[in-house]
A and B are shown apart, each in its own frame.
Chain A
Amino acid sequence: AQSVTQLGSHVSVSEGALVLLRCNYSSSVPPYLFWYVQYPNQGLQLLLKYTSAATLVKGINGFEAEFKKSETSFHLTKPSAHMSDAAEYFCAVILNTGFQKLVFGTGTRLLVSP
């Protein structure tokens, strides 16, 4: 079965510091992977996606993620955190269980302090 695991329900960084949010996947075939962001009282917005093209994927708001097959990882990074990055971040994978479906990890809340 395919799934994603997000390590750390909360991550705290200072403004200007590196952001690293971890996501590991389990899949027997090359997966489609996604990072979504959710701001308070909002729906989910796509940050970036990996669909088996380039392994380093750049997204919106300065975020990027690297697909590493050897580590089964798809960690999200941003070189310098802004206060406006404070939100919940979800890693997601397409499951191919006869039919495709989109399944999410448990989420990581990013806290940014001045």
Chain B
Amino acid sequence: DARVTQTPRDKVTEMGQEVTMRCQPILGHNTVFWYRQTMMQGLELLAYFRNRAPLDDSGMPKDRFSAEMPDATLATLKIQPSEPRDSAVYFCASASQGITEAFFGQGTRLTVV
């Protein structure tokens, strides 16, 4: 059963600490999205990659957020330093060429205290 896997599922950290979230896209998918979900803003697109290259990260705060794809099986989203306002659920999704369907992971619930 092909699925997108995100780790960790839950993360509680103190303000100022570095946070790294990981995503394993479905094998063969060449497009990866990172979304942030909050009550106030809904689902925001932070960044997305095609063939491991970043296409658009305009939704991401550049000063503290970074997204990478070290290889085709791993995407990472890093926050350094973390702040309480970063508390949210972060979703990764992957899709094949043409994006006729995006498959979502279960999300990482981040709480920054």
Contacts and interface: CB of A to CB of B under 8 A. Distances in A.
Interface residues of A, number: 22
Contact of B105 (A43, A49, A51, A99): A43
Nearest to B99: A100
A57 to B, nearest CB: 12
Interface string A32-60: 10101000001111100101000000000
Given A43-B91, A49-B100, A107-B43, 17 more contacts: A43-B107, A44-B91, A45-B104, A46-B103, A49-B101, A90-B43, A94-B99, A100-B98, A100-B99, A101-B33, A102-B33, A102-B95, A102-B99, A103-B45, A104-B35, A104-B42, A104-B43
A77 interface: no
7 closest A-B pairs by beta carbon, nearest first, are A43-B104, A104-B43, A44-B104, A99-B55, A106-B42, A43-B106, A100-B99
Interface of A: 32, 34, 36, 42-46, 49, 51, 90, 94, 97, 99-107
Q: Is the interface of A mostly helix, strand, loop or mixed?
A: strand
